[in-house]
Amino acid sequence: MKRRAFIKNCSVSALTVCGTTTALLGCSDPAQARQKTGLVVPRNDAGELVVSKSAFAGQSTLLLAHPALLFPILLLRSDEENYVASLMSCTHQKCKIEVAKGQIICPCHGARFSLQGELLRGPAQRDLASYATRVADDTVLITLE
Ligand code: FES
């Protein structure tokens, strides 16, 4: 085998092992892994996520998790009555995205979104998936379907 072909084969093998390891670790305990990604919130009888306004504790954003979700939800408080809930999954190739420096950034290929979930920079082509929200007393309710 020539040197170039050997190096190419080794690279492919290393990526395969790495990807398989990541997939296996990621699937080992999905519920536990998800719960580490945000504040775990309950659902009410109507299936809405129930978030206490006090959970914001002076912050304008809150990362939420629920066992029914594959990705966290970023809940942004615009004001006391208006909230935006965005799924933290990149619309390019579904990488988990992160909040950094006042934006939502995809670590995979660099897409950027505003905290409201609007696309700012590709390669993604769409805004983030969002969920309807409503306020009831001291809680914010998020409709998942
Ligand atoms: S998966 Fe997010 S930019 Fe590609």
Q: Which helix (H) or strand (E) holds 14?
A: helix 3-28
> What does pLDDT average to over the chain?
80
Q: Which atom of ligand 1 is nearest to the CA of 111?
A: 3
Strand order in the sheet with 139-143: 39-40, 61-65, 73-79, 82-87, 130-136, 139-143, 49-52
Residue nearest to atom 1 of ligand 1 (CA): 93
Q: Residues 88, 89, 91, CA angle at the centre, nearest 5°?
A: 130
pLDDT at 80: 87
**81-109 pLDDT, tens per residue?**
999 999 999 999 999 999 998 999 999 99
Q: What is the pLDDT along the chain (145 residues), one digit of tens a residue?
A: 454 444 444 333 333 333 333 333 333 444 444 334 688 999 999 999 999 999 998 899 999 988 888 899 999 999 989 999 999 999 999 999 999 989 999 999 999 999 999 999 999 999 999 999 999 999 999 999 7
Q: Which atom of ligand 1 is nearest to the CA of 93?
A: 1
